[in-house]
Structure 1
Amino acid sequence: MFLTIIAITGATVLAAGAKVYQDKKRERDTPCTVAAERMSKNRLAKLPYGNKPLPILSRPVTAIREFKRDKINPFFGRRHEQLSEISQAEDVNETSEAEKKMDRYLTISVACFGLTTVGSLVYPPLLLFSVPGLVYLTSFFFKRSYDLIRQEGKVAVALVDSLSFGGTLITGHYFACSLAYTLFYFSRKLLIKTEDHSQKSLQNIFGHKPALIWVQQGDVEIEIAFDSLQIGDFAVIQAGQTIPVDGTITSGAANIDQRTLTGESQPVEKEVGDPVFASTLVLSGKIYIQVEKAGSDTVAAQIGDILNRTADFKSNVLSRGEKIIEHGAMPTLAISALALPILGTQSALATLYTAFGYHMRSAAPISVLNFLNMASENGILIKDGRSLELLSEVDTFVFDKTGTLTQNEPHVGTIYTCHGSDENELLTYAAAAEDKQTHPIALAIQKEADNRKLNVPPIGEAKVELGYGIKVRTLASDEEEDKLIRVGSGRFMVMESVTIPNEYQQIEEKAHENGHSLVYVAIDEQLGGAIELLPTIRPEAKQIISDLHQRKIKVVIISGDHEKPTKKLALKLGIDHYFAETLPQNKADIVEQLQNDGKSVCFVGDGINDSIALKKANVSVSLRGASTAATDTASIILMDESLKQLVPLLNLASDLDANLSNSVVLTVVPGIICAGGVFFFHLGLVSSIIWCNVALVASISNAMLPLIKPKKAPFLVE
């Protein structure tokens, strides 16, 4: 009994101590912020609340929950903030229905535990007051056991739970029964905390619609509610806007970024007669679209519908703690059945408390939560603890190419010149023309001009022409006359009557084959040359791939981009396997095929076209700043928007695996000793419960070690 109380007290002290340590550390890091927060709370507590009592008095349940969250539970904090940041579509502060149910049963269990503790130590009649609550919990437990048998076929686990809890109550061991229930519901609550319960319909995310939209009616453009939009209407979309419908361009032209939907690394030029799709971004130009599909009928929304119907790999995955409990249930029942005819009912009930690995039900969630907290402190948001457990088993990493292994912003490669121009002159004028633009190509040109420390001349008013390019005039100075500068595509140059030499057409064809873009620059009426823009490989990508290979992990690229640039990137990074021109559903099929071949797959992606594959994979990883579809679907988010934390993430998974293995030993060995004691030394029920709690203390202490002595080195990347 006293050992049990020590176990609970010790776990609480460890948790509270860890929380105090984290608070002190945060205070040292941001003293002004923490001091201001505390001052605000102190002042708020002293303020009168009209003629009504303070909320802490009028709403005790809420107050207790807040106290538990802020002062007792060490597992909130940075991870909760990251979840709030990522989960824009849902309030992560709202308690789930599953957690509310656990709170209710846990409250009853704690009340019964309090009554039985005082009754056992001070005033025995109080034990009787706990009986109604224990009977209620036991009836629920038998119902739960029945559901486990009927729905999931977990006969052994259900029998161990029912016989041990029910038998303890029937034999009058009220204290032991209340303690068992308290630990059970506490562990279930922790398990809920380790899982991602943000299961929401993703169709609205893919079919995101604005409140208002401009349409052309006759000769005028008017703004109407998006819900009023009809098939056949003419939507007006300008630069910087995301297209909310599927349709065909009837007027105008634009440069459109389709990478999140199709995986293409370079913007696509669209003109009259070309199809456009929802969730793609107009970089430049203005287009009139005849609406063919809107809302849930668009291609993007259909991907969302497929995603909603795709089974999440984790949905049928048990946590390691639950697996250990299942594996230990049958040996426990067998030993109890053997003890019944030989030693009697009391001894048979005592052997049920050997419960090999049973306390993994409490230790495993605590351990996982500690590791999730450590990850969040180092820039890794893990939404579901099962993903971290599964990561140690992963033997194949599948990367999306565009936006994952490459950055969104390209970089300047070769600069081709003609008609007497030189590289710096051409780049100077291109940077002047793109000075006020913010699309990726403009930013790449501006960055290269800054790197070369070029003196970019001021310009007059810029004019974007039909989405294919931009036309500006530099301001005259004492040293130089004003010049007319045109920057854009080959079509734009033809439209502006600028002659393009034949060799440049060959250069452009080769650039497109390699997945590069070619931007032409005309000075006055002559072509000055062209700037080739290349996808920018993430600087950390090559080292990450090398580290994965050293771990004997297979690496694959899947891309919606063309064959040649995908193959080129694979060769450059040392990746042997790649798939190019892959549709979103085909990405998921490839992941499934790898799984059918016995591979455990981690998919890393950032686009709408990656979302189905992310959901199919054993483990899914995305980056902060990726598409909402990807960050909502992925179970792990790298918050620093780079791949640097992938290897530390694997180290974290390995450390969790080792910690859980230690906990298994610490929960099984006392059970073996207890079983031997029952058979050879005639240990009774109380002694068995004491040994049971030895396993509890040992396993929880091991689970708390990562929080008490955090190992920072594996997770910090310089």
Structure 2
Amino acid sequence: MTKILIVGAALGYTVFKVYQGYKETKKTKISPSLSTPKKVILKKEKITLPSDMVINNQPVEENLPVVTDENLTNEIKKSAERDFIVSSASLGLTTVGALVYPPLIIASIAGMVYLTIPIWQKGYHSLFKKRQIDIAVIDSIALPGIFLTGHFFIAAIAFWLYALSQKLLLKTEDQSVKSLINIFGEQPNFVWILKDNIEIEIPFDALKVGDIIVVNAGEAIPIDGMIANGVASIDQHTLTGESQPVEKGIGDKVFASTIMLSGKINIQVKQTGEDTVAAKIGEILISTIDFKTSIQSRGQEIADKSALPTLILSGLAIPVAGHTGALAVLGSCLGDNVRITSPISVLNFLKIASEQSILIKDGRALELLSKVDTVVFDKTGTLTQEQPHVGKIYTLQERKENELLRYAAAAEYKQAHPIAKAIIQAANERELNLPDIDNAKYDVGYGIKVNIENQLIQVGSIRFMEMENIAIPYEIKQIISDCHDSGHSLVMIAIDNQLAGAIELHATIRPEAKSIIKDLHQRNISTYIISGDHEKPTQRLAKELGIDNYFAETLPENKATLIQQLIDAGKVVCFVGDGINDSIALKKAHVSISLKGASTIATDTAQIILMDESLKHLCQVFDLANHLDKNLNTGLITTIVPGLITIGSVFLIHMGIIGSIVVFNAGLLAGVTNSMWPLVEHHQKKKSK
């Protein structure tokens, strides 16, 4: 009974140390701050947020570049392959020696000594240089100890399984990386260019910016560029996640690795090779894959925490089960398999994300998302679409609404800004036939003057009308004031220097916004709006969408300050906004998400980009983060439980080294299965759709 109590206490201590190590690796470190209280507008009233807590060790302060050494990676692969060959030869020699010719066992020892040397070196470095007992010390005792005690065949199996696991890990990682990157396809060897109206085939590497290439139906677009001639239906789901093909014509942008479904187009080359959006996404994914090192460090720390209690238990096993039992305890490797299974889990989740039009530029953000309790939305371009929509049309001089809209749409027809698109769209919805214009004059930022049907049409802001010396009636001034309070904008229309009316433009709320906010609330995540608009329209939008709090009348440079105030209040903040204009706020938040899509990937500072330029996949990002967290937790269980079974069995039924190896590898198999299962489920769901 005493022996059982001692062993039980030791096992309990071991589990406690492993769990303690696991919890420490997941902590967000928070320490008190002496900063003064700060005030923000929340739900219309001013309140003081406590600032006695500050996250001063943010894991994600900015996007740090990841430097990879290809030569080092190749050397690791070669070393793993060499170790596998040597261990296989040793196992073969030991097997033949045990069955046919015993002297061959001596030859196998040379191979095991070769494999032991680097293991001993790591253990020596930990014990005498770092002055700590970690998993390297356990390895340096366990593996060599098996064959030094005369268990040559068992040692050969142990070394072979160890080398095989390392080889399989590298192979799985390599295949996962290739699969992840190959989502965006490969560049062709040759392309057709148009020169002097003749199509000429040239090597892809010879292509230059400015060349005109010809792409036909069924072909992949090899470069980023602009359509110079023709129309086409293009499948660009690999970049944007759009389920439906898009129709594109002259002046529209196209991207490499998208597929021409129909039509024929000439494309003026803007970027080639490594400068294309697809290539940049590939580079980002390669860098993000190195996030496995931080996950591996979690497994490493867990394994290291278990090293000392495992060594103590091994010593206790000597009088109970002898040296064989002691080595079996050392071979239990509590927490060790996490170093193998966790990186595979991360790679698979990154692949799943990329197939759902979610580009994760900084893998650390995926880990932090499971801790987020506050989401802050930038209003313009995030909760609202870039293009507004026409609300009311105000008329003067007994003009008709359609008449004003027709003139305004004709004047704006060649413009590409959001206001022009909104007016043209409204005219199209009313099926208005637009007249021809001539003598167009554009005052950039203020308005347009055009001649239509022998009349001078002036379209623009109130400032433009004042510059043109056009009188503004009192009733229009009152409407301007009301629109200003409501957050709407007005476009004035004058005919022959007399104001004829105005078109009211409203911000267009994203159709998916309300359901996304509701979903976030169901996850117990609080929500905020940051807006430069006045308080009333901001408050109205927050109420309409069901958003908890808002910051109104916020200058762009103050967004980061408001994010910091929430962080000082102890919040873990995710900021969703414009990847370019909100760069400071994006960097200040723990996690940053952008909706800008593929066209601005090179300049986007966000850690995560929703490639379809909508909020539709926002909750999927949180789902992925939570599923990854659960998967890693399950992976931890698959490595701790087999270890505990081994240790308990050594003391209770005197399990030997063979049993320890079997249980260890059963745990490894369970861990790898757990790591691969999310990807299997994802592919099954895709097939069922």
Do the two structures share a fold, i.e. TM-score over 0.5? yes
Structure 1 residue 193: Cα displacement? 10
What is residue 670 of structure 2 aligned with on the other side? 698
For residues 193-241 of structure 1, what are the alpha-carbon distances to aligned partners after superposition, in whole Å with 9 as ceiling and x for unaligned? 999xxxxxxxxxxxxxxxxxxxxxxxxxxxxxxxxxxxxxxxxxxxxxx
What is the identity, as a one-letter code, of the residue corresponding to 1:499?
A
What is the identity, as a one-letter code, of the residue corresponding to 2:651?
F
User: Does residue 398 of the first structure (1) align with residue 376 of the second (2)?
Assistant: yes
Unaligned runs of 5+ in 2: 1-62, 97-103, 178-290
What is residue 620 of structure 2 aligned with on the other side? 648
What is residue 115 of structure 2 aligned with on the other side? 134
Structure 2 residue corresponding to 1:417, chosen from 371, 390, 395: 395
State whether residues 143 and 155 of structure 2, in contact with CA within 8 Å, keep that contact through their aligned partners in structure 1.
no
What is residue 488 of structure 1 aligned with on the other side? 460
User: Does residue 370 of the first structure (1) align with residue 348 of the second (2)?
Assistant: yes
State whether residues 579 and 604 of structure 2, in contact with CA within 8 Å, keep that contact through their aligned partners in structure 1.
no
State whether residues 354 and 672 of structure 1, in contact with CA within 8 Å, keep that contact through their aligned partners in structure 2.
yes
What is residue 159 of structure 2 aligned with on the other side? 177
State whether residues 77 and 170 of structure 2, in contact with CA within 8 Å, keep that contact through their aligned partners in structure 1.
no
Structure 1 residue 527: Cα displacement? 0.9
What is the identity, as a one-letter code, of the residue corresponding to 1:465?
D
State whether residues 395 and 554 of structure 1, in contact with CA within 8 Å, keep that contact through their aligned partners in structure 2.
yes
Q: 1:425 to 1:328 in 2, by over 3 A?
A: farther
Q: 1:505 to 1:705 in 2, by over 3 A?
A: same
Compute the TM-score of the two structures, normalised by the length of structure 2: 0.63
User: Does residue 357 of the first structure (1) align with residue 320 of the second (2)?
Assistant: no
For residues 622-655 of structure 1, what are the alpha-carbon distances to aligned partners after superposition, in whole Å with 9 as ceiling and x for unaligned? 2242784797543332222111112233333343
What is residue 276 of structure 2 aligned with on the other side? none
State whether residues 106 and 186 of structure 1, in contact with CA within 8 Å, keep that contact through their aligned partners in structure 2.
no
Q: 1:382 to 1:465 in 2, by over 3 A?
A: closer
Q: How does 1:242-321 map to 2 (within 5 A)?
A: 321=299
Structure 1 residue 673: Cα displacement? 1.3
CA distance in 1, matches of 2:528, 2:375: 6
CA distance in 2, matches of 1:367, 1:315: 12
CA distance in 1, matches of 2:685, 2:579: 32
Q: 1:473 to 1:674 in 2, by over 3 A?
A: same
User: Does residue 604 of the first structure (1) align with residue 576 of the second (2)?
Assistant: yes
Unaligned runs of 5+ in 1: 1-88, 196-312, 475-480
State whether residues 112 and 159 of structure 2, in contact with CA within 8 Å, keep that contact through their aligned partners in structure 1.
no
Q: 1:501 to 1:701 in 2, by over 3 A?
A: same
What is the identity, as a one-letter code, of the residue corresponding to 1:335?
L
CA distance in 2, matches of 1:103, 1:495: 71
What is residue 655 of structure 2 aligned with on the other side? 683
For residues 595-626 of structure 1, what are the alpha-carbon distances to aligned partners after superposition, in whole Å with 9 as ceiling and x for unaligned? 45443332222233433443444433222427
What is the identity, as a one-letter code, of the residue corresponding to 1:638?
L
What is the identity, as a one-letter code, of the residue corresponding to 1:469?
G
Structure 1 residue corresponding to 2:643, chosen from 671, 674, 687: 671
What is residue 708 of structure 1 aligned with on the other side? 680
State whether residues 194 and 386 of structure 1, in contact with CA within 8 Å, keep that contact through their aligned partners in structure 2.
no
Q: 1:454 to 1:314 in 2, by over 3 A?
A: farther
Q: How does 1:613-652 map to 2 (within 5 A)?
A: 613-625=585-597, 628=600, 632-652=604-624
Structure 1 residue 181: Cα displacement? 5.0
Structure 2 residue corresponding to 1:429, chosen from 407, 424, 433: 407
CA distance in 2, matches of 1:186, 1:355: 18
What is residue 115 of structure 1 aligned with on the other side? 89
State whether residues 614 and 630 of structure 1, in contact with CA within 8 Å, keep that contact through their aligned partners in structure 2.
no
What is residue 80 of structure 2 aligned with on the other side? 106
What is residue 347 of structure 1 aligned with on the other side? 325
Q: How does 1:1-20 map to 2 (within 5 A)?
A: none
Q: Secondary structure at the match of 1:607?
A: coil
Q: 1:424 to 1:110 in 2, by over 3 A?
A: farther
CA distance in 2, matches of 1:614, 1:188: 34
For residues 331-384 of structure 1, what are the alpha-carbon distances to aligned partners after superposition, in whole Å with 9 as ceiling and x for unaligned? 434423433566555433321221223212222222232232223222223345
Structure 1 residue 327: Cα displacement? 5.3
* Alignment: residue pair count: 503
Structure 1 residue 170: Cα displacement? 6.0
Q: Secondary structure at the match of 1:608?
A: coil
Q: 1:498 to 1:104 in 2, by over 3 A?
A: farther
CA distance in 2, matches of 1:188, 1:147: 30
User: Does residue 659 of the first structure (1) align with residue 641 of the second (2)?
Assistant: no
State whether residues 563 and 580 of structure 1, in contact with CA within 8 Å, keep that contact through their aligned partners in structure 2.
yes
What is residue 365 of structure 2 aligned with on the other side? 387
CA distance in 1, matches of 2:559, 2:653: 61
Q: Identity of paired residues, percent?
A: 50
What is the identity, as a one-letter code, of the residue corresponding to 1:464?
Y
Q: How does 1:397-546 map to 2 (within 5 A)?
A: 397-474=375-452, 481-546=453-518
Compute the TM-score of the two structures, normalised by the length of structure 1: 0.61
State whether residues 184 and 361 of structure 1, in contact with CA within 8 Å, keep that contact through their aligned partners in structure 2.
no
Q: Secondary structure at the match of 2:527?
A: strand
CA distance in 1, matches of 2:661, 2:649: 12
CA distance in 2, matches of 1:165, 1:564: 71
CA distance in 2, matches of 1:553, 1:168: 53
Q: Which moved more, 1:172-181 or 1:410-419?
A: 172-181
CA distance in 1, matches of 2:338, 2:372: 23
Q: How does 1:24-173 map to 2 (within 5 A)?
A: 99-100=73-74, 102-122=76-96, 124=105, 127-128=108-109, 130-131=111-112, 134-135=115-116, 137-138=118-119, 141-142=122-123, 145=126, 149=130, 156-164=134-142, 167=145, 173=155
CA distance in 2, matches of 1:518, 1:314: 52
Q: Secondary structure at the match of 1:398?
A: strand
What is the identity, as a one-letter code, of the residue corresponding to 1:533?
L
CA distance in 1, matches of 2:487, 2:341: 51
Q: Secondary structure at the match of 1:173?
A: helix
CA distance in 2, matches of 1:97, 1:462: 61
